[in-house]
Amino acid sequence: MTSWDIATTGTLGTGTSKTQINGSNPLTKPTQAANLIEVVPYMAASAAHTAAETMLVKWTIESNSINLLPKESIVPPIAGGLGTFGAAEVPILESYICNTPLQPASTQQFKVYGTPQVSNTAAPRMGMAFHYSTASPVNSEHFYTTPSSETSTGTAATSVAGGTMTINDGLWLEDLYAVVTPGTVTASESYIGYMDFSSNDFENSMPLKIPIQPVAAGLGSAISIHMPKMFSVHNVHMGMKSTVTLNTAYNQEEALTAAGNFYTSVGYTKTG
């Protein structure tokens, strides 16, 4: 059988510090659980949104009793707007497959954190759902990593180098995540482009380029920006060397008046 539990929401502050949620306490797994199937992070603002501010947060899971690292990726972001904008859209939630083996009849624990990548006047409030099974995993465990921080898009229609990621002991690259968020919004300007994931340590030179979820701005001086979903692709199954330096670049296909931010993440397995 399976069950769900919650690491309760916590405010992450207005800066960019790593903050533990669930009342600053670890989440204890159910004693019968033998498998962490997946996690689902979620987020909303703790107060009214502020113009020109987007909530872009990295989630992280750590443990003193479970060998699960690294487990960190992106909470689907909430875009800001222009002026006294009337609505903020919380994107569709994203499930992150884990398949992490757990010890039955134990009280192993998870520590869950959120780290905003940009500052906000109204603090993000983040929680996380955990999906367990009493059956041991049959598929490979997934691990997730991100660059150390977001990167500015700049304003030109050009390619912008993003952060790098180092993967140790990986076998297959499986998941790609890419997001671009607005800063100061300009009426009638759109964010559109694609993310390029590349490495000399992949098994071949096949391209790994995926579109970002485009973001459009309307007319007027009070504009809400809607981002319905963070785009991701899965089952990539790109072979890797035992140590990989993975490079990212955002190809911005429309010039902007004001820069935004982009952020990436990947998922991988260490066994077939």
Domain ranges within the chain, ordered by starting residue: 2-269
User: What's the rounded mean pLDDT across residues 215-241?
Assistant: 86
Cβ-proximal residues to 249 (8 Å cutoff; 6+ apart), any chain:
159, 160, 161, 162, 195, 196, 198
For tokens 């009793």, the residue is: 65
What pTM does this model have? 0.95
Closest CA to 72 of 12, 100, 113: 113
Measured distance CA(267)–CA(107) in Å, rounded:
27
Q: 154: phi > 0 → left, psi -120 to 50 → alpha, else beta; which?
A: left
Q: Is pLDDT of 86 > 70?
A: no
Annotate 170-210 with DSSP letters as a single string.
--EEEEEEEEEE-SS--TT--B-EEEEEE-TTBSS----EE
Summarize pLDDT for 161-219 with one digit per residue, the tens. Answer: 999 999 999 999 999 999 999 888 777 888 999 999 999 999 999 999 999 999 887 77
Measured distance CA(225)–CA(150) in Å, rounded:
20
Closest CA to 123 of 251, 264, 259, 16: 16
- Identify whether the C-beta of residue 262 lies closer than 8 Å to the C-beta of residue 125: no
Q: Is pLDDT of 82 > 90?
A: no
Summarize pLDDT for 91-135 with one digit per residue, the tens. Answer: 899 999 999 999 999 999 999 999 999 999 999 999 999 999 999
Measured distance CA(192)–CA(178) in Å, rounded:
12
Closest CA to 183 of 265, 262, 115: 262
